[in-house]
């Protein structure tokens, strides 16, 4: 890590690297799955509707949408 302060490094590790081991309740899992599915369907819609336009695609980045939502929350 490029941060030289040990306390700051430990804080970042505890806040972000430990999140992957937290259990998510089923209601939240369904909500995230719905958001992921919406992002996928929206990407398909825009690729079909605007097939000649240059656009941003979500290919391979669909999980970014619910991840961004969790980060914002």
Show the domain range for 65: 23-72
pTM, full prediction: 0.53
Structural domain tally of the chain?
1
Among 66, 46, 70, smallest CA distance to 56 is for 46
Q: Is residue 39 part of a domain?
A: yes
Q: Is 40 inside a domain boundary?
A: yes
Which pLDDT belongs to residue 65? Answer: 75
pLDDT value at residue 46: 82
- Does residue 45 lie in a domain region? yes
Residue 51 included in any domain? yes
16 within domain boundaries:
no
pLDDT score of 26? 92
Question: What are the distances in angstroms from CA 31 to CA 20, 24, 35, 66?
Answer: 17, 11, 6, 9
| Sites in the chain below the pLDDT cut of 50 | none
Residue 34 lies in a domain: yes
59 within a domain of the structure (yes/no): yes
Q: Is residue 36 part of a domain?
A: yes
């Amino acid at each position: 890590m490029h941060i030289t302060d040990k306390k700051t490094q430990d804080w970042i590790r505890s806040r972000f690297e430990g999140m992957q081991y937290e259990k998510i309740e089923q209601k939240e899992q369904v909500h995230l799955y719905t958001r992921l599915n919406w992002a996928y369907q929206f990407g398909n819609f825009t690729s079909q509707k605007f097939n000649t336009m240059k656009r941003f695609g979500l290919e391979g980045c669909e999980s970014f949408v619910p991840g961004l939502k969790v980060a914002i929350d």
